[in-house]
Amino acid sequence: MKTTASSVLHFMLITSVIVHAFEPITTTIVAGAGMAALGNHLYNYIFETCNQHWIGFNATGLEVDLQSKLIGQHVASRVILKAVTGFMNNEDPKKPLVLSLHGWTGTGKNFVSQLIAKNIYQRGMTSGFVHLFTATAHFPHEVDLDSYKSQLQQWIKGNVSACPRSMFIFDEMDKMHPGLIDSIKPYLDFYETLDGVSYRKAIFIFLSNAGGENIVQVALDFWKAGRDREEIELKHLETALSLSVFNNKNSGFWHTSLIDKNMVDFFVPFLPLEYKHVVQCGRAEMISKGLEPNEEAVEQMAHDMNYFPRNERVFSMQGCKVISSRLDFYI
């Protein structure tokens, strides 16, 4: 279409009418509101806020991560996917989700917590709504127990008030003082609200090595019987867990009434990892370092790791824990 002088004039006339239709004050208010909305939008974009932009469950993401990244943990993988998906899809949960992960060192307990966080919070573990406590680092001195208790309670209360969808991970749960565990119990229970705060959308994850040896025994029995590891089911491990964890009078965790009050929704067993899993971890590590997987280096590294029991050499002593640093010597 050809632009004629008259059409330009017509356009200028219309624009001037529109512009004149706004008095300066209205224009300022509209512009101000616009700026505020833009500012809000920008703020929400840059700073983490307790809303859908930053928090939202990616069920497929979790499923894919568990399948492709978590190595050798078919039982844990299934339980976690079911537990987290069920809870996150429930609009009105009656209590917070409480998971207790158990197993030998280096088998992926912290790793899986990271995968859960990553598929709920945009910022994953670095989210301001994800809180990680390590017993020996955060609560080292028994004499300070009373102050730990009140600080921890205030921390949980303050953070859940600010964002109901908060996640609390307690590492080295077996090293935590029973009194301190008792102090968080009210938050795990079936309460509508507690002092006006509802904890029902929060997630609590406990990590420990408690029960690890009995889980190893079950895995070893399967191995000795020539049965496939994949045949191990939750039911085979539940007895192992209950024997060692629930009846262990020395375990601080279980001195508390967490178990008989049914506050823990799922006990999740982690199996000890074998040579082939160490190799898989090595490959994954090389890829995450941006390197081409070097089969020879990975196998050499896996070969040089320590395995137990001494004669059978079936399970990796350190699981996949030291692989990241070890691998550097082989590539």
Residue positions in the annotated binding site for ATP?
103-110
Q: Where are the alpha helices (DSSP H) in the chain?
A: 5-21, 24-46, 59-68, 74-89, 109-118, 135-138, 145-162, 178-188, 212-224, 234-241, 252-255, 275-288, 295-303, 323-327
- Minimum distance, C-beta of residue 228 to ligand ATP, in the bound complex (Å): 18
Which of these segments, 87-95, 109-117, 128-136, 272-280, binds Mg ion (CB under 5 A)? 109-117
Provide the token pair at 12: 């200028």
Provide the token pair at 33: 């509101």
320 binds ligand ATP (CB under 6 A): yes
- Minimum distance, C-beta of residue 243 to ligand ATP, in the bound complex (Å): 19
Q: Which residue's Cβ lies closest to ligand ATP?
A: 108
Member of 110, 122, 134, 161 binding Mg ion (CB under 5 A): 110
Residue 211 CB-density burial (10 A; 0-12 exposed, 13-18 middle, 19+ buried):
buried
* Near ligand ATP in 182-221, by CB under 6 A: 207, 209
Q: Which does 271 bind (CB under 5 to 8 A by kind): ligand ATP, Mg ion, none?
A: none
Phi/psi at 102 (5° precision): -125, 145
Which of these segments, 47-55, 106-114, 228-236, 263-271, binds Mg ion (CB under 5 A)? 106-114
Residues 78 and 98: their CA atoms lie apart, in Å, by 16
- Minimum distance, C-beta of residue 43 to ligand ATP, in the bound complex (Å): 33
Q: Which residues are paired to 167 by β-bridges?
A: 130, 203
- Interaction pattern, residues 76-115, with ligand ATP; x per rule: CB under 6 A: -----------------------------xxxxxxx----
Which of these segments, 66-74, 152-160, 252-260, 304-312, binds ligand ATP (CB under 6 A)? 66-74
- Total residues in contact with ligand ATP, by rule CB under 6 A: 17
The DSSP-derived string for 185-251 is HHHHS--S-BTTB--TT-EEEEEE-TTHHHHHHHHHHHHHTT--GGG--HHHHHHHHIIIIIT-TT-
Q: Which does 269 bind (CB under 5 to 8 A by kind): Mg ion, ligand ATP, none?
A: none
Residue recorded with tokens 């809303």: 51
Residues 271 and 103: their CA atoms lie apart, in Å, by 6
Which of these segments, 64-72, 85-93, 119-127, 251-259, binds ligand ATP (CB under 6 A)? 64-72
269 binds ligand ATP (CB under 6 A): no
Which of these segments, 2-10, 73-81, 104-112, 322-330, binds Mg ion (CB under 5 A)? 104-112
The closest alpha carbon to 235, from 114, 33, 77, 75, belongs to 75
Provide the token pair at 188: 């795990």
127 binds ligand ATP (CB under 6 A): no
The closest alpha carbon to 199, from 189, 208, 207, belongs to 189
Nearer to ligand ATP, 160 or 218 (CB): 218
Nearer to Mg ion, 322 or 331 (CB): 322
Q: Which does 281 bind (CB under 5 to 8 A by kind): Mg ion, ligand ATP, none?
A: ligand ATP
Positions that interact with ligand ATP (CB under 6 A): 70-73, 105-111, 207, 209, 281, 319-321
Positions that interact with Mg ion (CB under 5 A): 109-110
